Amino acid sequence: MTAKRQTEPILPPRERIIAAAADLFQRQGIRGVGVEAIAEAAGTNKMTLYRHFASKDELIAEWARGIVRRKEAEWDELAARHPNDAAGVLSEWSRRTAAKLAALEQRGSMLLNALAELPDPDHPARVVIQEHKQREHRRVLKLCREAGFQDPDLYANLFSLLIEGAHSCVQCTGMKRFGEDLVRLVDRMVANTPAPAARRG
Amino acid sequence: MTAKRQTEPILPPRERIIAAAADLFQRQGIRGVGVEAIAEAAGTNKMTLYRHFASKDELIAEWARGIVRRKEAEWDELAARHPNDAAGVLSEWSRRTAAKLAALEQRGSMLLNALAELPDPDHPARVVIQEHKQREHRRVLKLCREAGFQDPDLYANLFSLLIEGAHSCVQCTGMKRFGEDLVRLVDRMVANTPAPAARRG
DNA sequence: CCGGGATGTTACCGGTCGGTAACTTTTCCG
DNA sequence: CGGAAAAGTTACCGACCGGTAACATCCCGG
């Protein structure tokens, strides 16, 4: 038995800690879970956690940075998959969002939840998330311009309101089919481009 | 000096406690403030707090019940002020929402924030909020039907997505004019009623 | 094989948390 | 005025929080 337990993935502790934190944050909330529980769930201990992260707040920020990184990579990938089709990118993004929201019931976007749980405007995670939201909105605005909307700012805000609203609405049961209706509404919005500049099909 | 301090309003402690909790919850988050701080901010002490509320969770629930009560009263008042004008009610609601969101910068809806901060599905405040959200969505759906939309379910979801999205977006700086655009979008939606049943001018 | 850095273990720190007991003071009303 | 209910005061409880010190151990590359 030289190999202790290879059942556990051989991921380095740092990434196991972030993965465990992501899981616990989602189920119990960021402030509802202690560092000890995170370390234990990661199959390690508090000391190792503090060797990799200066503080719990920094761990939270790093966890948020990972989510942001993946989200922006997905935007990039989507733009590459639909070249010269800004409307298609927006439509496909709404489709993916709806699918993701249907998968994880309750607890909408952990980025939004983190903003709600961390009111301190100087919290490292908060600035990470807000900067991401600004970049994302600029990207959406650019897409709306490329899609040829007559009022890109208005339509960019419409898109953002719909997407963020969907993330919020999953927390409240009772609103049925918000996922399908989200893509229907975005598709309807996209169909309204009067000058379908660079629309391929 | 028989009257100690009449500078403080003579509200009974119970309401002072809820008011203090509302203020602190908004500025520091629900989980970020302790009962002792709430009692002190209310000009009283922990024992009195616990004579009026069985636990912190029950205080949170009572605070949420107050918000819900006022919100539903405002819906009622709006319906009474615009009789036989469902579209006008929806439009006016978006206007009021935009004004409220502009007033309290950052930290969108405390009801949404509470859902994010209290993941436990059995938390008393959570059920209070979710039941309210269901009632509110039923009300919006009824208004959409009365307004004569061809697809009331879709438009009710659109309205909810826009409103909840606006509450979420105020947490992320950088999205400008979401308030004005919210009312523009709702008015545009309302203008789309093909059968303006009972629309008065 | 051996040495050093990365890990694991245990115990501990001060502080704060939600919640309670016992008791004193105020208030208010019959 | 009298007396009881309500409110205030102080001290305390066990549990947990984020964070650290000291030390044992493992693993891997030179």
**Helical segments of A82-123, H only:** 86-103, 110-117
Whether any strand C atom is under 7 angstroms from the Cβ of B83: the reply reads no
pLDDT at A198: 47
Taking the stretch 122-141 of protein chain A, residues with Cβ within 7 Å of any atom in nucleic acid chain D are none
Whether any strand C atom is under 7 angstroms from the Cβ of A51: the reply reads yes
Of B115, B165, B181, the CB nearest to A164: B165
DSSP codes, B13-41: HHHHHHHHHHHHHHHH-STTS-HHHHHHH
Work out the average pLDDT over B112-137.
97
Give the model confidence (pLDDT) of B10-25 as tens digits. Answer: 789 999 999 999 999 9
Task: Spell out the residues 6+ positions from residue A67 whose beta carbon is closer than 8 angstroms to its own.
Answer: A22, A110, A111
pLDDT at B7: 41
Work out the average pLDDT over B146-162.
96
Cβ atoms of residues A19 and A42 within 8 Å: yes
Over 90: is that where the pLDDT of B140 sits?
yes
Predicted structure pTM score: 0.92
- State whether B178 and A160 contact (CB < 8 Å): yes
Q: Where on strand C do bases come within 7 A of a protein Cβ?
A: 6-11, 16-22, 26-27
Work out the average pLDDT over B102-130.
94
**Helical segments of B82-151, H only:** 86-103, 110-117, 124-147
Taking the stretch 45-84 of protein chain B, residues with Cβ within 7 Å of any atom in nucleic acid chain D are 45-48, 51-52
pLDDT at B200: 42
Residues of A in contact with B64 (CB under 8 A): none
CA distance B45 to B36: 7
H or E element that contains B73: helix B56-81
Spans of chain A, pLDDT less than 50: 1-8, 197-201
